[in-house]
A and B are shown apart, each in its own frame.
Chain A
């Protein structure tokens, strides 16, 4: 049984950074992708980026390029998402999601479907 357990809620000031963790248990950690998906209050799902721990390769949505960093620690089966220069619009529930990956036409590993999801971490940005 795969479980993804995320760190607790955060309240941050505008301009600061936040780091959210996602610890995986059950199943293989390295040979899958871990993505981060956020959901603003009352809104839909938005993919931010992902990592393939086996290769350490990352891919980010253009919207978040330069502001988000996704890392993974294989020794603890934990993935991290750090978002910087926070603004009020970043207030959202942040999910990690685990699933297979595939190689895109340029040979770069890319997340596929999201089989398992964490419970979500609420990040509130407020002055």
Chain B
């Protein structure tokens, strides 16, 4: 099983600040890494697929990068509505998720 390790676990950020979340895979997964946003009491939503491809309708302030074992989700100019927990997910082999990163607005 491929293990995904996210960091940090929690981040408290002021609006308009830049947020960076990392996801490290226990072995190389190419670009088979996807990012989701889950707001409280809501289902997860796909933000980024295959490391850097934005999903339809996702605001341009969300971007992804990386390949192999190290990946990054960046939120440029954080907005209040971005308060959520963010998860990475790999599909290189049977799916697994990272532990999540909770982003709080200061």
B interface footprint on A52-64 (CB within 8 Å = 1, 0 otherwise): 0000000101100
Q: Assuming the A-B contacts A45-B44, A114-B44, A117-B43, are A59 and B94 also in contact, with contact meaning beta carbons closer than 8 angstroms in the complex?
A: yes
Interface contacts (Cβ under 8 Å), in number, total 60
Neighbouring B residues of A111 by C-beta, 8 Å: 91, 95
Q: Are A47 and B96 in contact (CB under 8 A)?
A: yes
Shortest CB-to-CB span from B98 to chain A, Å, is 8
Q: Are B44 and A113 in contact (CB under 8 A)?
A: no
Neighbouring A residues of B44 by C-beta, 8 Å: 37, 45, 95, 97, 114, 117
Task: Say which one of B16-24, B45-53, B66-74 lies at the interface with A.
Answer: B45-53
Q: Identify the interface centre among B43, B44, B49: most chain A CB within 10 Å of its CB.
A: B43
Kindly report which residue of chain B lies nearest to residue A6, judged by CB atoms.
B43
Q: Which residues of A contact B (CB under 8 A)?
A: 35, 37, 44-47, 50, 59, 61-62, 95, 97, 99, 102, 104, 110-115, 117-120
Q: What are 12 contact pairs spanning A and B, CB under 8 A? A: A35-B95, A44-B97, A45-B44, A45-B97, A45-B100, A47-B89, A59-B94, A95-B43, A110-B93, A113-B46, A115-B55, A120-B43
Q: Which residues of B contact A (CB under 8 A)?
A: 1, 32, 34, 36, 38, 43-46, 49-50, 55, 87, 89, 91, 93-100
